Structure 1
Amino acid sequence: MTDTRQTEWSVVLTPSPLQRVGAFALAAMAEVEHPEQLTPAAFTFVVERMTNDLVATRKVIKAADPGGFWLGASYMLWPNSKINPTNRGKQSHQQREDAIREWRAAPGPEDRLDAPCAYCGREAYTWFGKVDIPLGASVAHRNTTARGHQGTPLCYPCVACLWAFPYGSTLSGGRAVLIHSWDDDFLAETTGQAVDRTERAASLAMPKGVKPGPYARELAVLHAVRAYGRRITAPVELMVLSNSNKEQSLATQELGQPVAEWLRSTRRSGDAQAGYKALVATQGTKQVPGEAFLAKRAFARPSQVLDFAVGHLLTQISATVRLPSEIHLLSPLIVSYCREVLTMDDKDVERIKALAQRVAGLLSKDDRPGPFRDFIRANSKGGNLHGWFRTKSVDWLLYPRPEGATPTLLPVQDYRLLFEDDRSWSWRRLLVFAVIEALGTAGWEPKGSKEEMQEVEEAAQAAGADNEEEATR
């Protein structure tokens, strides 16, 4: 290899998530921390190792047989390639090996193109299409390229990254599932773990008939985020793709940086972990475990995490005729979630907590469940919370107030949060949570029969009806 080739056989990161995952997969297989640390010799060694993985399938009859992992994966990743031609059954073992090695061979000087690599901008060596570029166009589709082009120009390191990205993915169910982030340190760690899992899976046949649990892919991202030991500085993407001839597809979801970092932070201390377990218990349904639904909501609708936590507490109160003990475990996490994920301003959160103290002061004057029920019902999406405050503001003026309490039950700033803010519903949910916490701190317990508490349950169901509808979509 010439000095020029030594320089060109280096990996650089590009704006393509697939290329980036592949680059870090190459680094993991070479046992270096970052793709920029890959020497040309290490790069060549890893590419040869990947080629040998494909060559090892030359004696395999069916993809489901032992050693057929990469043959099975190839139909989804590299359709019509040299590893799975239509006449494969008629080829000898040596013919299969020769074809694979020809496909994955390093280009020579004669392959150099007068065109830049479509990914990194360096000088390209040859043309590529769907066989090597996931979701790319076939080289036969000349109308998708410029005149004289026979596909997409790529340099050898960039196409090698595309060959490597499956190692940094989970391959099952006819899909490649990968985690990407612009946080290079996080990407390096998660991709390295994926490479280990893929190489273990490759020692067996392609798994079949294993039905994943609900939102298993989102849950895997949640586990990866919570297992990470440093601050996450960028969003985390979940990508699910197939490059097969039967169905080309790409679906992406993004876990925002604030919620990713917040989830990671729930492992900082024993108290946070205990609070996390309590939060998970509030998120489940009969069909979906709590942590799986937490993962899905963290991706799709982060505000629902607060909604379902409050709804669960209300259900517990109506079922047991007492305030749930886990409220104090949940409180630090709920408050931090509102601040860090829902980006609620600290001073506004404190306003809602102070308002909750005043509301709890009114409700705790009566140990019957009725006043509490009326507050919950007023706080449902079909309720009249404005009317409830108008009535209770009179009680606040007439009855003795705690020393130092404001003469106004609902100041203008609090009113705007509950009724005029873009996130009014979230502020109302936080208010309900804070009221329950304040009642618990004051030692208030509803005195009523199960029948009387049935009305509280009905109010709780009304407050959470919209959430349940969203959960089933």
Structure 2
Amino acid sequence: MADALNQHNQVRLTANPLQRVGAFALAALARVSHPDQLTTDAFEAAVDNMTRHLLITADVAKAADPGGFWLGASYMLWPNSKINPTARGKQSPDQRRGLIGEWRALPEPAAWPDAPCAYCERPACKWFGKVDIPLGASVEHRNTTAPGHEGTPLCYPCVASLWAFPYGASLTGGRAAAIHSWDDAFLAPVTRLAVKRTLANAQAPAVKTKAQPTWYARELAVLEAVRSYDQRIHAGVELIVLSNSNKEQLLRVQEMEQPIAQWLRSTTTRSDRRSGYRVLVAAQASKSVSGEAFLARRAFEDPAAIMHRTTAYLLGRVSAGGVVPAEVSGLAPLTYSYCIEVLNMDEKDVARIKDLAARLGALLGQDSRPGPFGGFMRANAKGGDLYGWFRTQSVQWLLKTRPAGMPRTLLPVEDYRLLFDDERAWSHRRLLVFAVMEALVEAGWQPKGSAEELEDVSDAAASFADEEAN
């Protein structure tokens, strides 16, 4: 028991994401960088500070009153706890303070159960349930536990970490949303910033006017955290959204995998990628949702859709004016790096597609009419005959003057396999469309023709754009 008492204020990181976020929140409250830097005094001071925040609510009648922040949050976090009992309205402020202090105090060692902590396996100080563990089973319903068990056994540092979890989260819309990662170096500053915001919100006056909700605000917050981080990200980034209230028990976990998280970070750290980010964002937007919000959502749910939407956006620009937009060049470093680093395309395959696109750009660029380019897009569409188009164009490639250094074969066997006989053939063909647009822009190609011809290529681009967007 002496050893257990010596460890009752030592915070350890465990395999539970909520406990990990809470442990870093405790560190932030104590103004240290990592939970393992928490001394006995710092840990106890951080727990006492959290308790003081709850004690402020003892003099508050309603959550909407000044000082009622944690009372309002408690209904979502700790329903039926000592801070918000059913009889709260009949209690005096002193009674409320007494109950809150009792709730958050370290249990007497003599009353500790003979059980290890479910998180870290050190001696537990008490049985805990839903009141203290988000989405934990109520101690009133023990049909799933062994005889003599009254919930989940936890040590004091681990339950204190769970109490601290809300500080490391955003508490809006009746739910707690936290950013978690197994990369501790990333989790530390993200949680520290969340704690700073939560403390500020707790001090701010209650806002009675209903703010206009932002689409995918929680996903967007993760995007902003990833892009503002100044080191390499070594693990995926999770968005944890939960409610522990009696009205709604919810847990939703989304993961932005490490490759796309690191790639998004590179759009701020690498100059060759920063310039194209604005266009990438614009490409993701819809009439009602901002580009960054949609980019954030797709980074979680459908990374491949980011490139599909980008190509659709560029083709939409073509359909609007019949000209390939100059933004293609700025997007090139983003597009190729995304295909390699996020979509796991082979770097050699991407290089082959770029070389093929250079040949197609040289071929199409010799004709100022917009029709041949429109024919390429129609052939590349889902209902088109791209192989038949290549057969025809291979003859033209032999007949027309080729730029110096380019081979006689338009579509070598290796390139044919990439486009028609590879498990990723469809993705390769989508990338080829982008690469051909880049080659035409680099060549300074400007289509010239009648209004009908320009309208025809615009229609082809619009049709292709619709396919990419859906």
TM-score, length of structure 1 as denominator length: 0.95
Q: Answer with 320-329 or 153-162: which moved more.
A: 320-329
* 1:294-325 deviations in Å (ceiling 9; x for gaps): 11111111111111111111111221232212
Q: Pick closer, same or farther for the CA change 1:44–1:455 going to 2, 3 Å.
A: same
Q: How much has 1:251 moved relative to structure 2?
A: 0.8
Supply the AA of the counterpart residue of 1:435. Answer: V
CA distance in 2, matches of 1:212, 1:417: 45
On the 8 A contact 1:232/1:261 being kept in 2, the answer is yes
On the 8 A contact 1:137/1:144 being kept in 2, the answer is no
Q: Describe how 1:308-319 pairs up with structure 2 within 5 A.
A: 308-319=309-320
Q: Pick closer, same or farther for the CA change 1:377–1:26 going to 2, 3 Å.
A: same
SS in 2 for 1:56: helix
| Residue in structure 1 matched with residue 94 of structure 2 by the alignment | 94
CA distance in 1, matches of 2:133, 2:220: 28
CA distance in 1, matches of 2:111, 2:451: 81
SS in 1 for 2:176: strand
SS in 2 for 1:176: strand
* 1:253-272 deviations in Å (ceiling 9; x for gaps): 11111111111111124443
Q: Answer with 150-159 or 322-331: which moved more.
A: 322-331
Task: Answer yes or no: is 1:460 the counterpart of 2:452.
Answer: no
Task: Answer yes or no: is 1:291 the counterpart of 2:320.
Answer: no
The ranges of structure 1 where at least 4 consecutive aligned residues each deviate by more than 4 angstroms after the TM superposition are: 1-4, 205-208
Q: Pick closer, same or farther for the CA change 1:449–1:200 going to 2, 3 Å.
A: farther
CA distance in 2, matches of 1:218, 1:257: 15
* 1:193-246 deviations in Å (ceiling 9; x for gaps): 000000000012555622321111111101000100000000000111100111
Q: Describe how 1:42-53 pairs up with structure 2 within 5 A.
A: 42-53=42-53
CA distance in 2, matches of 1:63, 1:357: 65
| Residue in structure 1 matched with residue 276 of structure 2 by the alignment | 275
SS in 2 for 1:266: helix
TM-score, length of structure 2 as denominator length: 0.96
Q: How much has 1:393 moved relative to structure 2?
A: 2.1
Supply the AA of the counterpart residue of 2:63. Answer: A
On the 8 A contact 2:312/2:466 being kept in 1, the answer is no
CA distance in 1, matches of 2:215, 2:421: 37
On the 8 A contact 1:317/1:324 being kept in 2, the answer is yes
On the 8 A contact 1:380/1:464 being kept in 2, the answer is no
On the 8 A contact 2:168/2:192 being kept in 1, the answer is yes
Q: Answer with 397-406 or 257-266: which moved more.
A: 397-406
On the 8 A contact 2:368/2:446 being kept in 1, the answer is yes
On the 8 A contact 2:318/2:325 being kept in 1, the answer is yes
On the 8 A contact 2:276/2:334 being kept in 1, the answer is yes
Q: Pick closer, same or farther for the CA change 1:146–1:4 going to 2, 3 Å.
A: closer
On the 8 A contact 2:394/2:409 being kept in 1, the answer is yes
Task: Answer yes or no: is 1:415 the counterpart of 2:420.
Answer: no
CA distance in 2, matches of 1:354, 1:327: 17
Q: Describe how 1:53-452 pairs up with structure 2 within 5 A.
A: 53-205=53-205, 209-452=210-453
* 1:109-148 deviations in Å (ceiling 9; x for gaps): 1122111111111111110000100011101111121121
CA distance in 1, matches of 2:254, 2:385: 36
* 1:151-181 deviations in Å (ceiling 9; x for gaps): 0000010000000000000000000000000
Q: How much has 1:2 moved relative to structure 2?
A: 6.7
SS in 1 for 2:99: helix
Q: How much has 1:451 moved relative to structure 2?
A: 4.3
CA distance in 1, matches of 2:427, 2:293: 22
Supply the AA of the counterpart residue of 2:389. Answer: W
Q: Pick closer, same or farther for the CA change 1:359–1:401 going to 2, 3 Å.
A: same
Supply the AA of the counterpart residue of 1:181. Answer: S
On the 8 A contact 2:272/2:333 being kept in 1, the answer is no
On the 8 A contact 1:180/1:237 being kept in 2, the answer is yes
Supply the AA of the counterpart residue of 2:266. Answer: S
CA distance in 2, matches of 1:268, 1:68: 41
Supply the AA of the counterpart residue of 2:36. Answer: E
CA distance in 1, matches of 2:383, 2:163: 55
CA distance in 2, matches of 1:461, 1:389: 22
Q: Answer with 318-327 or 35-44: which moved more.
A: 318-327
CA distance in 2, matches of 1:368, 1:344: 33
* 1:342-388 deviations in Å (ceiling 9; x for gaps): 12121111100000011112211211111111111222223222222
SS in 2 for 1:403: coil
Q: How much has 1:462 moved relative to structure 2?
A: 2.3
Supply the AA of the counterpart residue of 1:163. Answer: W
Q: Pick closer, same or farther for the CA change 1:15–1:3 going to 2, 3 Å.
A: closer
CA distance in 2, matches of 1:423, 1:382: 18
Q: Answer with 5-14 or 149-158: which moved more.
A: 5-14
SS in 2 for 1:180: strand
Q: Answer with 48-57 or 305-314: which moved more.
A: 305-314
Q: CA RMSD in A?
A: 1.7
Q: How much has 1:423 moved relative to structure 2?
A: 2.7
